[in-house]
Amino acid sequence: MLDLRPGDYVECIDNCPQFPISTVMPDTDRVYTIEDVRFIAGGCSLRLNELAPTCHKGGSCARGECGWDARRFRRVYRPDPQNLELFLAMLLTPKPAIADPITVEL
Ligand SMILES: [Zn+2]
């Protein structure tokens, strides 16, 4: 069973599906967040917060019945409020590469 949920961060690993329906495609190596996961015959379809697929009826899909095959993504991070805070704190305060620079005396 595919382990993806709304709110998860996912990376697109395949932007060339065999039978594309949407002309709008997520880019490979880019990270997106999942808006919704729908279970459909034979798999799962994802909606992304950052991108709206084109609809099988034409135009941009606003009704939520279209999406991208979940197999084309891999989960990179599942935020948990506490972990996310910690994660963001780590991003904002990177440790210096050299904690104790060696002083060379001549
Ligand atoms: Zn649609």
Bigger pLDDT: 12 or 63? 12
Cα–ligand 1 centroid distance for 59 (angstroms): 8
Query: Does 56 reside within a domain?
Result: yes
Number of structural domains in the chain:
1
Cα–ligand 1 centroid distance for 83 (angstroms): 34
Reported as a pLDDT band with limits 50, 70 and 90, residue 13 is very high
Q: What average pLDDT score do residues 40-45 get?
A: 86
Query: Does 106 reside within a domain?
Result: no
Cα–ligand 1 centroid distance for 19 (angstroms): 16
Cα–ligand 1 centroid distance for 13 (angstroms): 23
Query: Does 4 reside within a domain?
Result: no
Reported as a pLDDT band with limits 50, 70 and 90, residue 94 is low
Query: Does 2 reside within a domain?
Result: no
Q: Residue 93: its pLDDT value, please? A: 65
The parent domain of residue 39 ranges over 9-92
Q: Residue 71: its pLDDT value, please? A: 93
DSSP the chain: -----TT-EEEE--S--SS---S--PPTT-EEEEEEEEEETTEEEEEESS--PBPTTSSB--SS---EEGGGEEEEE---HHHHHHHHHHHHSPPPS-SSPPPPP-
Query: Does 27 reside within a domain?
Result: yes
Cα–ligand 1 centroid distance for 25 (angstroms): 14
Reported as a pLDDT band with limits 50, 70 and 90, residue 58 is confident
Least confident of 8-17, 26-35, 56-65: 56-65
Query: Does 70 reside within a domain?
Result: yes
The protein residues having their C-beta less than 5 angstroms from ligand 1 (an ion) are 55, 61, 65-66
pLDDT greater than 70 at residue 100: no
